[in-house]
Amino acid sequence: MCDLLSGWTTFGIGGRARRIEIARTRDELIGLSAEAIVLGRGSNILASDDGYDGIVAINRYERIERDGNTVTAGSGVRLGALCAFLAENGLSGLEWACGIPGSVGGAVRMNAGAFGGEISDRLSYAYVVRDGAEKRFACDELGFGYRNSALDDGDVVTDVTFELDSATPSAVRALGAEYADKRRATQPTGKSAGSVFKNPRGVSVGRIFDEAGLKGLRRGGAEISPKHANIIVNTGGATACDVCKLIAVMKDVLREKNVAAHEEIIYLGDFGG
Ligand SMILES: Cc1cc2nc3c(=O)[nH]c(=O)nc-3n(C[C@H](O)[C@H](O)[C@H](O)COP(=O)(O)OP(=O)(O)OC[C@H]3O[C@@H](n4cnc5c(N)ncnc54)[C@H](O)[C@@H]3O)c2cc1C
């Protein structure tokens, strides 16, 4: 098995982890060492070139069950697979997630969202391993905010229960396809971790970077996407160091504009402070 984090992140960047484990069942997730960091699809991660001196658990616990309009998904289910299941079953409410390359567990931790929707809008319960025991948390106990939750590195989401609306399969499919088309029109398809920075309320940091002329700026193999100025793409052979150089330029631009810089991407490993 590949122990390079570049093989487990959508950026395709990152050195070796001390150990990588795959968790395929709920019991395997519950039994993970408290030390382990859980990754879903690694689509929100910038991993250090020096790797990570710890255990990384890759979540492949994938099962979906339906009971009327209630759907429970294993946290390792890809959002794309969940959207396909919901379309097949005529269940509406998470179409915005079509095209986000993450897992259910990662989406809950990040409170992923797009096109005005967020995962927390439809979440009834999440089952979370905390301090060695699995507990059920209702939505309002999870501290959801914009691209944020009260879950921390020690918490492991196992199963998530969503409440959806009834619709026809064709209507669900059509709305999902519409969002996926919008995404393709405005975002790059290369290797990335999605948006680098969060948007402070009422501010588009992408527009600020665009106006500052950052689109197309390169450091090594990393490039600020010519299509979307808040996304950095690994055009081939980019290192985490290359990405960090671009992030530093972006931070300078935000500082000049007095806009708070809060990364949406999560750093894994040592970045020298
Ligand atoms: C092309 C592209 C487009 C994107 N578009 C969007 C978008 O529109 N909206 C959006 O919100 N995000 C977007 N993202 C970012 C990312 O896909 C989401 O944040 C996604 O939900 C992360 O899921 P993941 O499984 O990849 O999480 P990972 O990147 O693997 O992990 C992210 C964080 O969640 C934690 N985590 C993962 N699984 C679990 C679990 N089971 N239990 C506890 N913690 C866990 C990890 O430890 C880490 O802290 C995009 C990314 C890419 C590459």
Indicate if ligand 1 lies below 6 Å from the C-beta of 9. no
- CA of 44, closest atom in ligand 1: 29
272 within a domain of the structure (yes/no): no
Indicate if ligand 1 lies below 6 Å from the C-beta of 42. yes
123 CB-near residues (< 8 Å, 6+ apart): 108, 139, 142, 160, 161, 162
Domain that holds residue 55: 5-59
Contact of 240 with 234, CB cutoff 8 Å = no
Counting DSSP H helices and E strands in the chain, the numbers are 6, 17
Is 92 designated active site? no
Average pLDDT rounded to a whole number, residues 114-138: 96
Tell me the CA distances in angstroms from 185 to 127, 228, 236, one per residue in order. 36, 10, 22
* CATH number for the domain harbouring residue 139: 3.30.465.10
256 within a domain of the structure (yes/no): yes
Average pLDDT rounded to a whole number, residues 100-106: 98
Indicate if ligand 1 lies below 6 Å from the C-beta of 38. yes
Residue 59 CA to residue 31 CA, distance in Å, equals: 12
Q: Is the model's pLDDT at 6 over the cut of 70?
A: yes
pLDDT tens track for 11-54: 999 999 999 999 999 999 999 999 999 999 999 999 999 999 99
How confident is residue 118, by pLDDT bands cut at 50, 70 and 90? very high
Average pLDDT rounded to a whole number, residues 144-165: 96
Residue 272 is predicted with a pLDDT of: 83
191 within a domain of the structure (yes/no): no
178 within a domain of the structure (yes/no): yes
pLDDT tens track for 198-229: 999 889 999 999 999 999 999 999 999 999 99
110 within a domain of the structure (yes/no): yes
Q: Which SS3 state, helix, strand or coil, does residue 89 take?
A: coil
Contact of 36 with 17, CB cutoff 8 Å = no
Bridge-based pairing of strands 266-268 and 45-47 is: parallel
Catalytic residue among 78, 195, 223, 225: 195
DSSP 144: -
As given in the structure block, the two tokens for residue 59 are 């979540």
Q: Are 29 and 87 within one domain?
A: no
Average pLDDT rounded to a whole number, residues 157-161: 98
- How crowded is the C-beta side of 186, counted as CA atoms within 13 Å? 14
Name residue 32's amino acid. L
Q: Is the model's pLDDT at 273 over the cut of 90?
A: no
Indicate if ligand 1 lies below 6 Å from the C-beta of 73. no
Looking at the 3D structure of the chain, how many domains does it have? 3
Residue 271 exposed, middle or buried by CB count within 10 Å (0-12, 13-18, 19+): middle
Residue 188 CA to residue 19 CA, distance in Å, equals: 32
**What is the distance in A from the centroid of ligand 1 to the CA of 41?**
7
Average pLDDT rounded to a whole number, residues 241-263: 97
* CATH number for the domain harbouring residue 231: 3.90.78.10
